[in-house]
Structure 1
């Protein structure tokens, strides 16, 4: 267990992910086969939220997601049509104005503090929706957790805990209906 905690400070994402899996296993949480979780809107899958791991309790309820903050940057770059940083540098070199425009857009999309990235909120909401689909009582809110690690060596880990109220989740399920918010 102590070795796994030490591996969290590794600069390599695979080592960090392996350490998270060991720690979650110690906490009796099992990693699911898929790293993606669906964000639904109006009863349909609207977007796929990419994570580095989703963990469940024995009952199958998804409760914890793990994300490396470098993964969020990669998702954002790919959304802008850039596979990796080398492609962006080549694009700037070949077609300077277009490359710089894409770089400026990426810079504007990057949050000032990476640990406050809005993408994490999407993961929390998608986890709550997933729990709700499995659960029986649609009148209760859902408690969800995300663990985020920086892509580089850092002595910190970010833990997010959220309670998503049922009224908020209802707005995603039936956006055309009026819902009470307490």
Structure 2
């Protein structure tokens, strides 16, 4: 079986909890006028890539990594390489924020089950392959187990490089879907990661890990800037405190 099929089991270790951002504030988001103008002018198709991934993250002093793959480890070996669309960190350390285009992630998932191609029509085989593809799609794309796996892999990046081994690792993921952004946050305990590092050992039963997320509409542009400032300010704070 493919890792994409097995990864669904991760949702049993985590759960998604949507948060609602409070009432609108009267003041405008404090972004340079150039960013505000770009948000008004750019079409949705390139708004995320040009504005959110670039200018907004640069405004919050994040570093972008050259690579976009996250290693998911089990038993101290890499069992999967998770594709993202960008990786960022507020300090020169392992990445703490991943950017994921949910539509691109779905296309990659579908390609993991290649369709039967032949000059001769073979409807039962083609139907079975399409059914297999559909079975891998989550019930709610904004609560995709792939997101949980990406956050765990982000935590593992720090887990294997941080000799101090803190109690928790805070990781975040920004996802895009249609005209919406979703900002996910997870606090992954070290003892949770121990299970992946040494799976043969016995561990006490612990409650699932919450993954909280907020919805950020891309339009109107003023709301996008306000909400992006609100959620990404947490990253700015983290950079100062080496969270």
TM-score scaled by structure 1? 0.83
Structure 2 segments unaligned to the other structure (5+ residues): 1-34, 207-243
Once the two structures are superposed, the pairs formed by residues 1-182 of structure 1 within 5 Å of their partners are 1-3=35-37, 5=39, 10-12=44-46, 15-19=47-51, 20-82=53-115, 94-150=121-177, 152=178, 154=179, 156-180=180-204
| CA displacement 1:108-166 (0-9 Å, x = unmatched) | 2212221011100010000000022232222421000000001x3x1x21111000111
Structure 2 Cα separation of the partners of residues 7 and 179 of structure 1: 54
Structure 1 Cα separation of the partners of residues 191 and 128 of structure 2: 40
Structure 1 segments unaligned to the other structure (5+ residues): 83-87
- Of residues 96-105 and 61-70 in structure 1, the stretch that sits farther from structure 2 once superposed is 96-105
For residue 160 of structure 2, give the secondary structure of its aligned residue in structure 1.
Answer: helix
In angstroms, what is the RMSD of aligned CA positions?
Answer: 2.4
- Of residues 25-34 and 130-139 in structure 1, the stretch that sits farther from structure 2 once superposed is 130-139
Deviation at 1:16, TM superposition (A): 2.3
Structure 2 Cα separation of the partners of residues 149 and 7 of structure 1: 19
Tell me if the contact between 1:4 and 1:22 (Cα under 8 Å) persists in the aligned partners.
no
Question: Highest CA radius of gyration, 1 or 2?
Answer: 2
Aligned length: 171
